[in-house]
Amino acid sequence: MLELKLEQLKKIFTEMEQALIAYSGGVDSTLVAKIAYDVLGNRSLAITAESPSLLPEELEDARIQAATIGITHEVVQTHEMDNPNYTSNPINRCYFCKSELHETLKPLALKRGYPYVVDGVNADDLRDYRPGIQAAKERGARSPLAEVGVSKAEVRQLSKQLGLPWWDKPAQPCLSSRFPYGEEITVVKLQRVGRAEIYLRKLGFSNLRVRSEGDTARIELPPEKIKEFVLTTDLEQVVAAFQEFGFVYVTLDLEGYRSGKLNRVLNRDVVEVKA
């Protein structure tokens, strides 16, 4: 079944003839970039959008991964932070982010002669609340992984099969996802969260989140890592570092890291709200 899906993905790119990849450096869009390059070679192009919501380390990873694949890689600036519909952090914030992204990429693609802009949305993403998917579709983007029915687990399987060393890379959504809906997003707040997460990664912890709620940082670690963190980490030093970054209070979420946790506040009726 997985081999069949890989062949279907290759067929999609063969039929496209040329494609521009909306490439974040995450495992999904990197797999798409890899398959596109294998099929199209120099008729494929990977573009990463740089903004305050992207960790500098993630951009560097994207560059390294693109170079490893061989695909041509470029970086463009996006300006979602200039849009109050985005910075006010409504429940459909991602709609405005992806609108900015694809309104930047689509004209660039057409100017360069690429008829398609392709993203890394997978089949599992379609079952979550992702208003950004709607924005991308409205602007003509295609999602080969979702079209073929490739799940997140299958993305990792295919990446490993194709020899991509980052097949098990933790998911790293934009830093704006660290804030509860309704709390204004600013460049200063994004930088504060980013520095805090980098700090914890340097201590040896990965697949984590630092949620920001006002002046409070809430650290989310994998449940199996909580005890290790408490017993082996200099907690006073962590608090001091976070306060230096700009937080006043530092807490540890005893439930542990769960993807999309901030979406719990949304009820079924609210989720139906469209941009």
- 143: helix, strand or coil: coil
Question: 127, 161, 195 — which closes off a domain?
Answer: 161
For residues 156 and 218, state if they share a domain.
no
- Whether the pLDDT of residue 234 is over 60: the answer is yes
Average pLDDT value over all residues in the chain: 93
pLDDT of residue 55: 87
Contact 159, 27 (CB under 8 A): yes
- 205: helix, strand or coil: coil
Q: How confident is the model at residue 260 (pLDDT cuts 50, 70, 90)?
A: low
pLDDT of residue 270: 44
Is residue 102 in a domain?
Answer: yes
- Whether the pLDDT of residue 274 is over 60: the answer is no
pLDDT of residue 265: 65
pLDDT of residue 47: 98
- Whether the pLDDT of residue 266 is over 90: the answer is no
- 158: helix, strand or coil: helix
The count of domains in the chain is 2
Q: Per the confidence metrics, is the pTM higher than 0.85?
A: yes
Contact 274, 134 (CB under 8 A): yes
Q: How confident is the model at residue 57 (pLDDT cuts 50, 70, 90)?
A: confident
Cα 258 to Cα 260: distance, rounded to the nearest angstrom: 6
For residues 18 and 152, state if they share a domain.
yes
Cα 25 to Cα 247: distance, rounded to the nearest angstrom: 28
Domain that holds residue 42: 2-161
Q: 61-99, pLDDT tens digit by residue?
A: 999 999 999 999 999 999 999 999 999 999 999 999 999
Question: 114, 133, 161 — which closes off a domain?
Answer: 161
Q: 130-150, pLDDT tens digit by residue?
A: 899 999 999 999 999 999 999
For residues 32 and 148, state if they share a domain.
yes
